């Protein structure tokens, strides 16, 4: 397993080289969400990277509406031409790069793509040009193992860096400071949500929109050897937001030349491993559902819309077969109590006695003590 | 040359809402089963209900698209084939998908048309071409795309285009927000969104150290009524209304307004009608945040931020019930959701045409005993009024 990372100046290129990496990811302001290189600084970086023998990965990870896309592809060629590979996330960039360039592609599958079928799809659609898949940090260890075994190309995962929570194309910080004069200046803020006990979400507004990050950084450096054993090919160290670049310390930690505990104490941000052990982000879903509403198949006859004590129950018939005199039923109260009975008397909405009430009509039956509105009526046995 | 009008595609959070949307004019509805969608807390449909909803819509010339737009994990995907086969058997008109693995699975198992969800944030011609090459027949564009750009995508990628015209909006690129995942352990892209963007945040500018509180991530609601002509001119195939979690009144009103507006255009070739103001009034009668045209013309700016607390949203009218039956014998039988009094002025929304004002001079309960005030979760009768039909919605101006 190899380490990879970003460089925004010549010193950081040297740091990468000195710590054993064979490549560098270069991000430019115009094409990368968080890149800060411009055309004046990009080419010297390329030159120096070449001198150091580093492979150049050009990061083009912004999402683009059509107008923005056309402008971007009109400007991108000089920079793309000098890169060894291009890293994309927008499916449009992916498709364009396959059709219009000869560069190897690295596809950022960090957003969704939590199944092997999707990942294989991106590889296969790439017509042999996909050289790497960047996996989501929401994947569990088991999934990473599975994917590394099944993918036809090497996989990469974030080993240390910010967790991007939110990416909007809209400028959301500058409206708070309309007096700001500088256009396109990056704005950095810390956010504190009224809903969350967490404080200090980093928020960034730049020319590509607004981004919010988790208060903690993602870190799997203590699992580096485990990831290697799973078959992961690249571990990415992202230090673009720290004042001091901790790449050397991170590399030593990943290589077990430095104790993780020591690294964690030294590192300026709190760290978390996300869903590495297990992803149970759907475990709360049953609690979000109204379970009473989940039992409406098969023998479900309808719902009690009115319960007039001492008089009647009005049931809206929702079963296509309707309700008949002689049907044996069970009624489930919203709180779970069960009532059983048989239909001896059945009236329609005009309170006229009937032997059958069809689907979508009101069926009026005598009141049953304890049954209340929203109780559900099920067929026990039929009179057919 | 006759202009092809876009379809009105309405949300169906439940079987009842599906029926409401279809009866009020939606050309198509989108609905979710118990799994694979993004509205975990919605009623959603059982298999029986999906079948019934499909039959109900098809009998009235409307289509039903079924959402499979979760970012499915492997274990979810393993459960998908049986559901896809079922959908094909009951005649689903399309599935709405956001994940390439799901596209490939559906394509391998069935001939059901695949619509790529807005969750996939398809924003440009090349992305549309990619999805088309994967077998998609329609793209639901990201809400960041302008109508003008959508027309270009339609032409250059040669694929059906669906755009949102109304409803709540994610501030983030759809599918690009995982706040709930990492702060609440609920996968927002599998139906667990906790709507963290709707809360107030205190923001400290790191340059000035100034602190301000704002609902800075909350978006106003989309409303594109006045841009209908632009949608038509751009050749957009489908106009989508967001809101499977919203009320029956919402589903009915939206379906009615947008389908009536398009019918007017079909007859007159323009929208130069006094009805435009009436349609806008109708849209303001359902609960909503302040409206914006967002990025339909130009990229959404500061004016698109809904910097208010959620419960400040406007609701000029409330739904008081649904007509269960209407005949000279039964009178107008209403399932009451919100109480009203004898003498109150109510409006009943016909499936077509202007609302019918009914004064509740006489209210009777189901046993025909006169009452002065209704109660929620009861059934009452009003005197018969010609032209009122079952499933029509009854509303009242909020005090």
E strands of chain B, at which residues? 7-12, 28-32, 63-68, 94-97, 114-116, 138-140, 160-167, 201-205, 211-214, 221-223, 238-241, 291-292, 317-327, 331-336, 345-349, 356-359, 363-365, 370-371, 378-382, 393-397
CB B368 within 8 A of CB B383: no
Asked if pLDDT for residue A287 goes beyond 70, the answer is no
- pLDDT per residue as tens digits for the range B237-284: 999 999 999 999 999 999 999 999 999 999 999 888 888 899 999 999
Judge whether B41 is closer than 8 Å to chain A, CB to CB: yes
- Bridge-based pairing of strands B201-205 and B94-97 is unpaired
Q: Is the pLDDT of residue A216 over 60?
A: yes
Q: Are A329 and A341 in contact (CB under 8 A)?
A: yes
Predicted local distance difference test score (pLDDT) of residue A289? 64
Q: How confident is the model at residue A196 (pLDDT cuts 50, 70, 90)?
A: confident
Using the Cβ of B214 and the Cβ atoms of chain A, whether some distance falls under 8 Å is answered with: yes
Per-residue pLDDT at A290 exceeds 70:
no
Residue A198 and residue A238 in contact, taking contact as beta carbons nearer than 8 Å:
no
ipTM: 0.93
The 10 Å CB-count burial string (b at 16+, else e) for A81-91 is eebbbbbbbbb
What is the phi/psi pair of residue B228, to 5°?
A: -55, -40
User: Whole-angstrom Cα distance, residue B248 to residue B96?
Assistant: 22
When the pLDDT of each residue in chain B is averaged and rounded to a whole number, the result is 93
- Could you tell me if B368 lies within 8 Å of chain A, comparing CB atoms? yes
Average pLDDT, chain A: 93
- Residue pair A315/A365 in contact (Cβ under 8 Å)? The answer is yes
Q: Do B178 and A165 touch (CB under 8 A)?
A: yes
Could you give the CA distance from residue B36 to residue B53 in angstroms, rounded to a whole number? 18
Q: How many Å apart are CA A260 and CA A268, to the nearest integer?
A: 14
pLDDT tens, residue by residue, A311-324: 999 999 999 899 99
Q: How far is C-alpha B395 from the geometric centre of its chain's CA atoms?
A: 19
Q: Which residue of A has its CA nearest to B47?
A: A297
The domain limits of chain B are: 7-176+220-304, 317-397
Geometric angle at alpha carbon B107, from A148 and B69, rounded to 5°: 75
Question: What's the pLDDT tens digit per position in B113-142?
Answer: 999 999 999 999 999 999 999 999 999 999
Q: Place B1 in a pLDDT band, splitting at 50, 70 and 90.
A: very low
Residues of A in contact with B194 (CB under 8 A): 195
- Second CATH level (architecture) for the domain B317-397: Beta Barrel (2.40)
Domains and CATH numbers, chain A: 2-167+208-285 (3.20.20.70), 291-381 (2.40.30.10)
Question: A308 to chain B, minimum CA–CA distance in Å?
Answer: 8
The model's pLDDT over B341-352, given as tens digits with 9 standing for 90+, comes to 999 999 999 999
Tell me whether B209 touches chain A (CB under 8 Å): no
User: What pLDDT band is residue A341 in, cutting at 50, 70 and 90?
Assistant: very high
The CATH fold of domain B7-176+220-304: TIM Barrel (3.20.20)
- The whole-number pLDDT of residue A194 equals 86
Q: What is the mean pLDDT of residues A367-384?
A: 86
- Residues B335, A305: C-beta atoms closer than 8 Å: yes
Which chain B residues touch A96 with a CB distance below 8 Å?
A: 126
- Cβ–Cβ gap B301/A279 under 8 Å: no
What gap in Å lies between CA B21 and CA B30, rounded to an integer?
A: 10
Q: How many inter-chain contacts (A to B, CB under 8 Å) are there?
A: 296
Can you read off the two tokens belonging to residue B81?
């084939």
Strand partners, B54: none
Q: Beta partners for B358?
A: B346
pLDDT band with cut points at 50, 70 and 90 for residue B39: low
Burial class (CB in 10 A: 0-12, 13-18, 19+), B82: exposed
Helix (H) or strand (E) holding A8: none
Residue B182 pLDDT class (50, 70, 90 cuts): confident
Read off the tokens for A36.
């800060």
Q: Which of A164, A214, A288 sits opposite B192 (nearest CB)?
A: A288
Alpha carbon distance A235, A2 (integer Å): 6
Q: Tokens representing B162?
A: 């669906």
Is the pLDDT assigned to residue A382 strictly greater than 60? no
How much is the average pLDDT of B167-180? 92
**Share of residues in chain A with pLDDT > 70 (%):** 94
Using 50, 70 and 90 to split pLDDT, how confident is the model at A278? confident
pLDDT for A285 equals 65
Helix (H, G, I), strand (E, B) or coil at B152: helix
In the block, which residue shows the tokens 């069809």?
A: A358
| Contact partners, residue A171, CB within 8 Å, separation at least 6 | A205, A209, A210, B301, B302
> Average pLDDT, stretch B150-160?
98
Burial (CB < 10 A; 0-12, 13-18, 19+), residue B342, is: middle
CA distance A152 to A156: 13
Output the pLDDT for position A195.
Answer: 79
Residue recorded with tokens 């380490």:
A3
Phi-psi region of A187 (alpha: psi -120 to 50; beta: other; left: phi over 0): beta
């Amino acid at each position: 397993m190899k380490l990879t990372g970003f460089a925004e100046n010549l010193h950081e290129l040297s740091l990468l080289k000195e710590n054993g990496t064979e490549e560098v990811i270069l991000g430019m302001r115009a094409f990368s969400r968080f890149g800060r290189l411009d055309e004046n600084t990009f080419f010297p970086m390329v030159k120096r990277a070449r001198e150091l023998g580093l492979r150049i990965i050009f990061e083009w990870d912004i999402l683009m509406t059509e107008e923005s896309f056309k402008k971007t592809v009109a400007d991108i060629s000089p920079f793309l031409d000098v890169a060894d590979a291009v890293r994309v996330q927008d499916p449009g960039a992916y498709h364009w790069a396959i059709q219009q360039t000869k560069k190897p592609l690295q596809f950022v599958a960090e957003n969704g793509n939590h199944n092997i079928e999707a990942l294989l799809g991106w590889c296969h659609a790439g017509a042999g040009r996909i050289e790497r898949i960047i996996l989501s940090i929401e994947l569990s260890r088991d999934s990473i193992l599975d994917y590394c075994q099944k993918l036809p190309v090497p996989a990469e995962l974030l080993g240390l860096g910010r967790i991007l929570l939110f990416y909007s194309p809209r400028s959301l910080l500058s409206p708070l400071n309309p007096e700001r004069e500088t256009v396109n200046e990056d704005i950095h803020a810390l956010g504190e949500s009224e809903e969350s006990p967490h404080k200090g979400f980093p928020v960034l507004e730049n020319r590509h929109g607004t981004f919010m990050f988790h208060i903690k950084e993602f870190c799997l450096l203590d699992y580096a050897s485990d990831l290697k054993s799973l078959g992961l090919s690249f571990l990415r160290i992202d230090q673009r937001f720290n004042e001091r670049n901790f790449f050397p310390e991170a590399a030593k930690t990943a290589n077990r030349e430095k104790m993780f505990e020591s690294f964690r104490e030294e590192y300026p941000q709190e760290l978390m491993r996300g869903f590495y052990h297990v992803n149970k982000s759907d475990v709360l879903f049953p609690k979000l559902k109204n379970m009473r509403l989940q039992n409406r198949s098969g023998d479900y006859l309808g719902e009690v819309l009115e319960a007039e004590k001492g008089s009647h129950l009005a049931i809206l018939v929702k079963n296509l077969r309707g309700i008949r005199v002689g049907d044996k039923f069970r009624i489930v109260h919203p709180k779970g109590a069960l009532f059983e009975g048989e239909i001896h008397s059945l009236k329609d909405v005009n309170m006229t006695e009937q032997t059958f009430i069809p689907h979508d009509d009101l069926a009026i039956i005598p009141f049953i003590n304890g049954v209340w509105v929203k109780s559900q009526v099920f067929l026990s046995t039929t009179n057919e | 040359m006759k202009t092809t009008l876009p379809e009105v595609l309405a949300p169906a959070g439940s079987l009842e809402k599906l029926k409401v949307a279809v009866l009020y004019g939606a050309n198509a509805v989108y609905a979710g089963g118990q799994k694979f969608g993004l509205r975990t807390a919605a009623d959603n449909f059982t298999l029986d209900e999906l079948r019934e909803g499909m039959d109900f819509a098809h009998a009235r010339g409307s289509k039903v698209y079924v959402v499979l737009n979760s970012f499915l994990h492997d274990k979810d995907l393993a459960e998908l084939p049986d559901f896809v086969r079922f959908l094909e058997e009951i005649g689903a008109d399309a599935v709405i998908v956001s994940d390439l693995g799901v596209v490939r699975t559906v394509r391998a198992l069935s001939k059901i048309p695949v619509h790529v969800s807005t969750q996939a944030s398809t924003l440009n011609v090349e992305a549309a071409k990619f999805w088309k090459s994967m077998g998609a027949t329609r793209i639901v564009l990201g809400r960041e795309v302008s109508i003008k750009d959508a027309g270009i995508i339609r032409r250059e990628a040669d694929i059906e285009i669906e755009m949102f015209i109304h409803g709540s909006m994610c501030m983030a690129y759809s599918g690009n927000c995982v706040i709930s995942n990492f702060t609440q352990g609920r996968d927002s892209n599998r139906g667990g969104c906790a709507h963290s963007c709707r809360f107030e945040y205190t923001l400290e500018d790191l340059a000035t150290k100034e602190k301000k509180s704002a609902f800075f991530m909350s978006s106003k609601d989309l409303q594109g009524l006045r841009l209908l002509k632009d949608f038509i001119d751009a050749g957009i195939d489908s106009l989508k209304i967001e809101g499977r979690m919203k009320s029956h009144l919402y589903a009915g009103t939206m379906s009615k307004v947008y389908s009536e507006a398009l019918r007017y255009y079909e007859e007159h070739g323009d929208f130069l009608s006094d009805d435009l103001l009436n349609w806008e009034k109708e849209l303001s009668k359902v609960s909503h945040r302040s409206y914006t045209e967002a990025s339909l013309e130009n990229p959404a700016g500061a004016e698109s931020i809904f910097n208010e607390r959620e419960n400040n949203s406007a609701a000029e009218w409330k739904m008081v019930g649904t007509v269960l039956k209407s005949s000279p014998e039964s009178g107008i039988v209403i399932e009451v959701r919100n109480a009203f009094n004898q003498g109150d002025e109510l409006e009943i929304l016909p499936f077509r045409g202007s609302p019918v004002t009914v004064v509740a001079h006489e209210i009777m309960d189901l046993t025909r005993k006169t009452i002065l005030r209704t109660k929620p979760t009861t059934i009452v009768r009003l005197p018969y009024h010609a032209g009122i039909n079952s499933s029509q919605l009854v509303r009242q101006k909020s005090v």
